[in-house]
């Protein structure tokens, strides 16, 4: 049997970059930690650390052991909180990663079916796509919502499913829409200030192509990564903007915004990306079932 205390000492040595720093962190003698790591090497049958100048470096076997130790001890850090929640029966935890290219209004609509869960503890992390996939692989997140599927990478063991495909419409503040109504849509967009998602959004290239096809040279006055923030600025009169119909209900709650016209042929996709662990999370299963039901309705 693998001795996980020995593995932990090795993990700390690798993280700290040497036995001396690890001894300081663990408040133990260098000789004790060194002996424990040697015992681990004997158990595994391979050298994990090798001399490198005045310090140490990981062997190829050590790199493999460190990668797995990272997963083990990252998971271990979650155990106290999860045990406390299970024993108290007080919270249903759901950690969601939101890719910085996804419409946050659409994300809110997709999460809405689980928001009424008693004692829900919802954790939403926003970040770059690759960073969120790494967090998901380490089980820090239960699901990632993104505008694209996960790339094929057998070592990450992630699965993707498209859970939404929503048409896109143009909205704007009432005063601007009223002026535009005397002109034919979409040519009226040529004369209107425009707010668009940034290039991080998977939706942006499709919108740019649509505008080019329609012969509209946009007057872009603002670009936003957060679609909810974009809608707030639009409601303040800054410009017109595109939004998927998934998020249109939230847009409708903002006073003064009116529908301008459809962005024909452009659709926003949302993909749910899960690790093996997330495939069995009850709240993830619930939100995905609700999304499938909505797509088939």
Looking at residue 83, its pLDDT comes to 73
Looking at residue 87, its pLDDT comes to 66
77 lies in the same domain as 186: no
Contact 297, 242 (CB under 8 A): no
Residues 13, 16, 17, 18: is their CA dihedral positive or negative?
negative
77 lies in the same domain as 185: no
Looking at residue 210, its pLDDT comes to 96
Looking at residue 65, its pLDDT comes to 93
214 lies in the same domain as 258: yes
Higher-pLDDT residue of 37 and 51 is 37
Looking at residue 90, its pLDDT comes to 57
Select from 84, 113, 147 the last residue of a domain: 84
Query: In this predicted model, what pLDDT tens digit does every residue of 135-166 receive, in sequence order?
Result: 888 888 999 998 888 888 766 678 888 988 88
Looking at residue 39, its pLDDT comes to 93
Select from 25, 59, 84 the last residue of a domain: 84
Contact 133, 260 (CB under 8 A): no
Give the CATH number for residue 68.
Answer: 1.10.10.10
Q: Would you say residue 108 has pLDDT above 90?
A: no
Higher-pLDDT residue of 179 and 2 is 2
194 lies in the same domain as 155: yes
200 lies in the same domain as 62: no
Tell me the C-alpha distance between 126 and 101, whole Å.
Answer: 10
Pairing relation of β-strands 92-99 and 120-127?
A: parallel
Lowest mean pLDDT across 222-226, 245-249, 272-276: 245-249
The token pair at 197 is 């998602």
145 lies in the same domain as 68: no
184 lies in the same domain as 261: yes
Tell me the C-alpha distance between 113 and 293, whole Å.
Answer: 11
Tell me the C-alpha distance between 231 and 225, whole Å.
Answer: 11
Looking at residue 221, its pLDDT comes to 95
Tell me the C-alpha distance between 46 and 43, whole Å.
Answer: 8
Higher-pLDDT residue of 105 and 129 is 129
Q: What is the SS3 assignment for 17?
A: coil
Looking at residue 58, its pLDDT comes to 92
31 lies in the same domain as 95: no
Higher-pLDDT residue of 215 and 296 is 215
68 lies in the same domain as 210: no
112 lies in the same domain as 247: yes
Distances (CA, A) of 273 to 111, 121, 169, 211: 14, 20, 26, 30
Select from 84, 115, 144 the last residue of a domain: 84
Higher-pLDDT residue of 221 and 177 is 221
Tell me the C-alpha distance between 285 and 275, whole Å.
Answer: 13
Cis preceding-peptide flag for 57 (omega within 30 of 0): no
Tell me the C-alpha distance between 219 and 191, whole Å.
Answer: 7
Q: What is the count of structural domains for the chain? A: 2
- Number of residues written out for the chain: 297
Torsion angle in degrees (nearest 10) through CA of 182, 188, 191, 194: 130
Share of residues in the chain with pLDDT > 70 (%): 91
Query: In this predicted model, what pLDDT tens digit does every residue of 264-276 receive, in sequence order?
Result: 999 988 999 998 7
Question: Average model confidence (pLDDT) for the chain?
Answer: 86
75 lies in the same domain as 101: no
The token pair at 289 is 């079932």
Q: Would you say residue 35 has pLDDT above 90?
A: yes
Give the CATH number for residue 231.
Answer: 3.40.190.290
What DSSP string runs through 195-219?
EEE-TTSTHHHHHHHHHHHTT---E
Distances (CA, A) of 88 to 81, 84, 91, 212, 281: 11, 6, 8, 57, 19
Range of the domain at 269: 91-297
196 lies in the same domain as 151: yes
Distances (CA, A) of 250 to 10, 104, 245, 254, 284: 51, 10, 10, 7, 22
């Amino acid at each position: 049997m693998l001795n996980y205390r020995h593995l932990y000492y090795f993990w700390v040595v690798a993280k700290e970059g040497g036995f001396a720093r690890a001894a300081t962190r663990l408040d133990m003698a260098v000789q004790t930690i060194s002996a424990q790591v040697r015992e681990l090497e004997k158990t595994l049958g391979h050298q994990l650390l090798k001399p490198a100048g005045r310090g140490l470096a990981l062997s190829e076997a050590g790199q493999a052991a460190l990668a797995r130790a990272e997963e083990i001890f990252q998971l271990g850090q979650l155990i106290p909180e999860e045990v406390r929640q299970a024993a108290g029966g007080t919270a249903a935890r759901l950690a969601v990663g939101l890719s910085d290219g996804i419409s946050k209004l659409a994300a809110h609509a997709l999460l809405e079916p689980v928001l009424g869960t008693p004692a829900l503890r919802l954790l939403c992390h926003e970040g770059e796509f690759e960073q969120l996939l790494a967090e998901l692989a380490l089980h820090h997140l239960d699901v990632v919502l993104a505008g694209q599927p996960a790339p094929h990478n057998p070592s990450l063991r992630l699965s993707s499913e498209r859970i939404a495909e929503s048409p896109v419409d143009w909205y704007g503040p009432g005063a601007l829409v009223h002026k535009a109504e005397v002109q034919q849509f979409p040519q009226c967009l040529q004369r209107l200030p425009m707010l668009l998602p940034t290039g991080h959004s998977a939706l942006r290239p499709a919108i740019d192509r649509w505008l080019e096809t329609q012969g509209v040279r946009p007057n872009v006055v603002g670009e936003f990564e957060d679609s909810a923030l974009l809608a707030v600025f639009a409601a303040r009169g800054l410009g017109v903007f595109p939004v998927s119909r998934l998020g249109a209900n939230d847009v409708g709650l903002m006073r003064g915004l009116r529908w301008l016209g459809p962005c024909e042929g452009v659709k926003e996709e949302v993909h749910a990306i899960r690790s093996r662990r997330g495939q069995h999370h009850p709240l993830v299963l619930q939100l995905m079932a609700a999304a499938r039901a909505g797509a088939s309705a």
